[in-house]
Amino acid sequence: MKFINLYLVGYVILVVGIALALWQSGLLGRISPVWIGIGAIVAVGLGLMLSVSAGKPDITKEG
C-alpha cells in the first residue's frame, strides 16, 4: 500500500472519530444538517489535498 493511501485512510479515521465524538456529546443535534454536510465536504477535500501533497513523486533525470 502506498503511503498516500495510508495517509488518506488515517485521515478518514480521524474525521470519523471526531464526528463520533461530536455526536456522542450532543453537539451535532444542535447544528443544521446543511452545515454538517458542508463541513464533511470541506474535511474530505482537505484530506485529499493533504494526502496528494504528502505523496509527491520524485523527479529523476535519466541519461
**Closest Cα to residue 45, out of 13, 8, 2?**
8
SS3 state of residue 21: helix
Domain boundaries, the chain: 3-52
Confidence (pLDDT) at 21: 92
Q: How far is it between the farthest Cα atoms of the chain?
A: 62
pLDDT recorded at residue 48: 80
> What per-residue confidence (pLDDT) applies to 55?
65
Residue 12 buriedness (CB in 10 A; 0-12 / 13-18 / 19+): middle
Over the chain (63 residues), what is each successive 10-residue block's mean pLDDT? Answer: 74 89 90 89 85 69 62
> Cell numbers 485512510 label which residue?
9
